[in-house]
Amino acid sequence: MALTDGAILNIKEMILNGQLKPGDRLPREAVLAEQLGLSRNSLREAVRALVLINVLDVRQGDGTYVTSLEPDLLLDALTFVVDFHRDDSVLEFLRVRRILEPAAASMAALRVTVDELAALQIVVDASSPESQPEELLGLDIEFHRLIGVASGNAVLASLLEGLSAPTNRARIWRGRTQAGAQERTVREHQLILDSLASGEPELAHAAMVNHVAGVENWLRLAR
């Protein structure tokens, strides 16, 4: 194992076992290097790597701190990588969404609040089949984001938000080229919302599978 990788694992272990908590300042470089049995160069490389993935935060003139470790912060690195997807990988992202989004809808059906349902209804009501595909896409993104939040699982919500972007171009393309696609999107959103409002997780799961699979099936045939 490379020395830098070992240093990263050592710092990770300190966070996992509670020696370092969110918001804590790391010991001075010389002290931490000695404590971990590492060279200062290896420690610096490890810190740089952990800063890149938002585990650590270097504050000039102050020191190095453990970040909040909130899921949305840690998953920013994943979103950055996802942004470099190739067009031929869109189907793969849609398949992952087809696995995760129905689970989020099912979870949301069991705990969604009146206020969350109202926010979702506002998005659906603002969606018009006559809208430009780009405008409808913005509302579509917000609809799915709100369901992720309503699931009550911050990690799942952050993952779904990050996985949405690679499919945006395909969703716009579908809206421009497939007859009735936008009407279908609005209709399916309302069906998903109705299943959430009824507190039926199985119905919510099925409605979301049908919704996401529609884009996936269309893209497979259109390629």
Question: 103 or 36: which carries more pLDDT confidence?
Answer: 103
CA neighbor of 110 nearest in space, from 209, 208, 200: 200
Min mean pLDDT across 52-66, 83-97, 177-191 is at 83-97
Residue 165 has pLDDT above 80, yes or no: no
Q: Which fold has domain 74-222?
A: Four Helix Bundle (Hemerythrin (Met), subunit A) (1.20.120)
Count of positions (residues) in the chain: 223
Residue 182 contacts residue 175 (beta carbons within 8 Å)? yes
Considering the chain, what percentage of its residues have pLDDT values greater than 70? 86
Domains 3-68 and 74-222 belong to one CATH topology = no
**Per-residue model confidence as pLDDT tens digits over 77-118:** 555 544 444 455 677 878 888 899 999 999 999 999 999 999
pLDDT at 173: 67
DSSP letters spanning 59-103: ETTTEEEE----HHHHTHHHHHHHTT--GGGHHHHHHHHHHHHHH
Residue 11's CB is within 10 A of a number of other CB atoms, namely: 25
pLDDT at 84: 44
Average pLDDT, the chain: 84
If you average pLDDT over residues 184-212, what whole number do you get? 95
What is the distance, to the nearest Å, from the Cα of residue 108 to the centroid of all Cα atoms in its chain?
A: 16
CA neighbor of 55 nearest in space, from 28, 21, 29, 81: 21
| Cross-strand pairs, 25 | 65
Name residues whose C-beta falls within 8 Å of residue 73's C-beta, 6 or more positions apart in sequence: 54, 67
pLDDT at 13: 86
Is the C-alpha dihedral spanning 48, 89, 140, 200 positive or negative?
Answer: negative
Query: Does the structural domain 3-68 have CATH classification 3.10.20.600?
Result: no
Residue 115's CB is within 10 A of a number of other CB atoms, namely: 9
Task: Tell me the range of 133-137, 170-174, 197-201, 212-216 where mean pLDDT is highest.
Answer: 197-201
Question: 143 or 222: which carries more pLDDT confidence?
Answer: 143
1 falls in which pLDDT band (50, 70, 90)? very low
pLDDT at 36: 85
Domain ranges of the chain: 3-68, 74-222
Q: Which single residue is written with the structure tokens 């000695």?
A: 34
CA neighbor of 220 nearest in space, from 84, 102, 92, 83: 92
pLDDT at 82: 47
CA neighbor of 55 nearest in space, from 38, 67, 37, 44: 67
Residue 119 has pLDDT above 90, yes or no: yes
